């Protein structure tokens, strides 16, 4: 949501205005939280203090080309994966959920939940995906340009297992629209309807939603109204 709002206003909005817009839209958040997200994503309002129309060399380190180019179709499993992190509010604190989705069937093939947004969080999600799918070398793994996805440890792990990195253009959330759509459904159908008291309650709920409901039973419009598991079995 932060990236979409930032892109919508073409880098004119800083943390204060983005916070106000999200609060008006019904998403409770504070300025410091939004500022932290913007810092992690490497984005800054063009009218903000210190803004320069030059590339930030540090922010561009380990940035991969956009190989996906919004082509969200895949002829077979394990050709194209997309991954991202979303924030989940649980009893006065944030939890962070990283997921990996196979574009062929829209199946969630890896996920990880933690109290901190670290490189280990996204690596654990990718580790689950590699273990469960055992893809051939060359699977495209698309993400945004967040600092976690640019980390050497994550990229080394990905390449070691045959993954090929792809990244969205800066500030363009639509380059990873399928993953964003999944998070939207997850929050509407699960998170907003529950009142989790701690991370373990949230983990159990998310496990049931992803592994039992979404992957195996939820009919998906992009798949001709069958579930990801049914689509892969055809």
Structural contact between residues 131 and 107, judged by C-beta atoms closer than 8 angstroms: no
Instruction: Determine the topology of domain 80-233 in CATH.
Output: Nucleotidyltransferase; domain 5 (3.30.420)
Structural contact between residues 70 and 177, judged by C-beta atoms closer than 8 angstroms: yes
Mind listing the pLDDT tens digit for each residue in 67-86?
999 999 999 999 999 999 99
Domain with CATH 3.30.420.10 in the chain: 80-233
Low-confidence spans in the chain with pLDDT less than 70: 10, 46-60
Q: Which of 10, 5, 7 is nearest to 20 (CA)?
A: 5
Q: Look at residue 47 in the predicted model and tell me its pLDDT.
A: 61
Tokens in use for 219? 């009919």
Is the four-CA dihedral 89, 91, 96, 100 of positive or negative sign? negative
DSSP 8-state symbol, 210 = I
| pTM listed for this prediction | 0.77
Output the furthest CA–CA distance in the chain (Å, rounded). Answer: 55
């Amino acid at each position: 949501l932060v990236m979409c709002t930032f892109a919508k206003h073409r880098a004119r909005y800083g943390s204060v205005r983005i916070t106000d817009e999200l609060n008006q839209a019904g998403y409770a958040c504070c300025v410091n939280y939004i500022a932290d997200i913007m810092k992690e994503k490497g984005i800054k309002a063009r009218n903000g203090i210190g803004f320069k129309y030059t590339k930030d060399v540090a922010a561009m380190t380990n940035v991969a080309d956009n190989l996906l180019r919004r082509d969200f179709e895949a002829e077979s499993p394990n050709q194209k994966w997309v991954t991202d992190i979303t924030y989940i509010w649980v009893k006065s604190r944030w939890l962070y959920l990283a997921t990996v989705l196979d574009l062929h069937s829209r199946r969630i093939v890896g996920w990880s939940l933690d109290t901190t947004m670290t490189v280990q969080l996204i690596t654990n999600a990718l580790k689950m995906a590699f273990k469960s799918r055992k893809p051939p070398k060359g699977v495209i793994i698309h993400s945004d340009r967040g600092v976690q996805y640019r980390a050497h440890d994550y990229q080394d792990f990905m390449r070691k297992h045959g993954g090929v990195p792809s990244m969205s253009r800066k500030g363009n959330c639509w380059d990873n629209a399928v993953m964003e759509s999944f998070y939207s459904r997850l929050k509407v159908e699960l998170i907003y309807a529950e009142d989790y008291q701690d991370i373990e309650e949230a983990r159990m709920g998310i496990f049931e939603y992803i592994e039992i409901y979404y992957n195996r039973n939820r009919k998906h419009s992009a798949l001709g109204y069958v579930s990801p598991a049914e689509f892969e079995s055809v």
